Amino acid sequence: MISVQEKLKEKGLKVTPQRMAIYNAVVKLNNHPTVENIVDSIKIEYPSVSVGTVYKVLNVLVENGLLRKVKSEKDIMRYDAMMEHHHHLYCNATDRIEDYEDMQLDTLVKDYFNRKKIKGFKIQEVKLQITGNFTT
Amino acid sequence: MISVQEKLKEKGLKVTPQRMAIYNAVVKLNNHPTVENIVDSIKIEYPSVSVGTVYKVLNVLVENGLLRKVKSEKDIMRYDAMMEHHHHLYCNATDRIEDYEDMQLDTLVKDYFNRKKIKGFKIQEVKLQITGNFTT
DNA sequence: ATGCCTAAAGATAATCATTATCTTTTGAGA
DNA sequence: TCTCAAAAGATAATGATTATCTTTAGGCAT
Ligand SMILES: [Mn+2]
Ligand SMILES: [Mn+2]
Ligand SMILES: [Zn+2]
Ligand SMILES: [Zn+2]
């Protein structure tokens, strides 16, 4: 469990309170917060944070592999601290997005495409977009 | 092969030259054009078309099940005239998006999730987002 | 065919998430 | 501590999309 500070240093990025707060907010909020969610969360300990800074920091963290972007139905970007390969469950009634990891499924899909090639296309990654309803 | 006119009438929508041109442009352009692509295409026979009208018509056609939206990497909506269940191949180098139909795969996935349920989630649809490189 | 009425098109402004620009501050090495 | 590029803050700009308002025109009744 490597710390944010170390991750930033590894990439040659300066360790700033804002970067730590923003990264930690995405981790803590969990489940793909929007920029607005993140700003609200940080405002508690950082009432003066600039929204432009949040956007900038998020882009830096994405470019350096600390976070990833998740696109949602609506035209609003969301962020994900889960960097391992995984799929997403999308609620078709709300904005809820949950992570879904399934190595058995990944094996199944990988085996399938090893046997059945798509002509004219070299597959790099297959992600499932699973839509439906949460019952909990 | 039911015509656009008939599809519009079925839905109680007025048949207008703009609606036909826009729908046909999406069909003809093929592979998920942007609004800009569509406007450019229509401008040839319809030099005076209003961009606002194109947005409005596209939304109407999506709401009435004649077209669907496809979200791309960039913050630009794209449109699809292919209404049957299918997956997408995304190029990780360009904006290219191709359709991918595979009933064998669909059966495999459906069978898998019939056996292995996701707890707390009722699946409605599973779409694969396949990223990689086109070799043609 | 003509007129009527509402839905749709056109024109234009507004919205809003995101990016860009500029100034001020600050992390980190010397 | 000093220095300086990098990062934060403040603010304006961008650009896709939507909203509002006026004008036009499909489609039905006469
Ligand atoms: Mn946008
Ligand atoms: Mn947008
Ligand atoms: Zn995720
Ligand atoms: Zn498609």
Mean pLDDT along residues A37-62? 95
pLDDT in tens, B86-103: 999 999 999 999 999 999
CA-based nearest residue to B58, from A119, B91, B119, B50? B50
Mean pLDDT along residues A18-47? 95
Do the Cβ atoms of A133 and B122 come within 8 Å? yes
> Is pLDDT at A133 greater than 90 in this prediction?
yes
Dist CA A97 CA A23 (whole Å): 19
> Residue B33: which residues within 8 A CB-CB, separation 6 or more?
B25, B26, B41, B78, B79
Q: How many residues does chain B have?
A: 136
**pLDDT for the residue B73:** 81
What CATH number is attached to the domain comprising B16? Answer: 1.10.10.10
**pLDDT for the residue A75:** 82
> Is pLDDT at A11 greater than 90 in this prediction?
yes
Q: Are residues A133 and A73 in the same domain?
A: no
Q: Are residues A19 and A46 in the same domain?
A: yes
Phi, psi of B21 (to 5 degrees): -60, -40
Q: Are residues B97 and B75 in the same domain?
A: no
Report CA(B14)–C1'(D30) in Å, whole number: 21
Q: Are residues B75 and B88 in the same domain?
A: no
B136 close to A133: Cβ distance less than 8 angstroms: no
Dist CA B22 CA B39 (whole Å): 8
Amino acid letter for position B53: T
B46 C-beta less than 7 Å away from strand C: yes
Q: Are residues B73 and B100 in the same domain?
A: no
**pLDDT for the residue A1:** 78
> Is pLDDT at A51 greater than 90 in this prediction?
yes
Q: Which of B83, B100, B120 is the last residue of a domain?
A: B83
pLDDT in tens, B43-68: 998 898 999 999 999 999 999 999 99
Pull the structure tokens for residue A57: 């920091």
Dist CA B25 CA B1 (whole Å): 17
Q: Are residues B78 and B88 in the same domain?
A: no
Which of A42-46, A95-99, A128-132, B64-68 has the lowest average pLDDT? Answer: A42-46
> Is pLDDT at B77 greater than 90 in this prediction?
yes
Q: Are residues A32 and A96 in the same domain?
A: no
Mean pLDDT along residues B67-93? 93
Q: Which of B40, B67, B83 is the last residue of a domain?
A: B83
A12 C-beta less than 7 Å away from strand C: no
Helices (H), A11-80: 17-29, 35-43, 51-63
B109 close to B115: Cβ distance less than 8 angstroms: no
Pull the structure tokens for residue B8: 């519009």
Q: Are residues B73 and B98 in the same domain?
A: no
CA distances from B52 to A48, B56, B58, B59, B72 (A): 39, 6, 10, 11, 21
Question: Cα of A114 to ligand 1 centre, how many Å?
Answer: 37
Q: Are residues B26 and B71 in the same domain?
A: yes
Report CA(B11)–C1'(C12) in Å, whole number: 30
Q: Are residues A58 and A45 in the same domain?
A: yes
Q: In chain B, which residues have their Cβ closer than 8 Å to the Cβ of A126? A: 128-131
Q: Are residues A6 and A53 in the same domain?
A: yes
Please state the domain count of chain A.
2
Cα B125 to the center of its chain, rounded Å: 16
pLDDT in tens, B101-126: 999 999 999 999 999 999 999 999 99
B33 close to B81: Cβ distance less than 8 angstroms: no
What CATH number is attached to the domain comprising B96? Answer: 3.30.1490.190
**pLDDT for the residue A24:** 97
Mutate to test the interface with A, among B104, B121, B122 (most CBs of A within 10 A): B121
pLDDT in tens, A68-109: 999 888 889 999 999 999 999 999 999 999 999 999 999 999
Q: What is the mean pLDDT of chain A?
A: 95
Which residues span the domain enclosing B117?
A: 84-136
Cα A60 to the center of its chain, rounded Å: 13
Q: Are residues A1 and A34 in the same domain?
A: yes
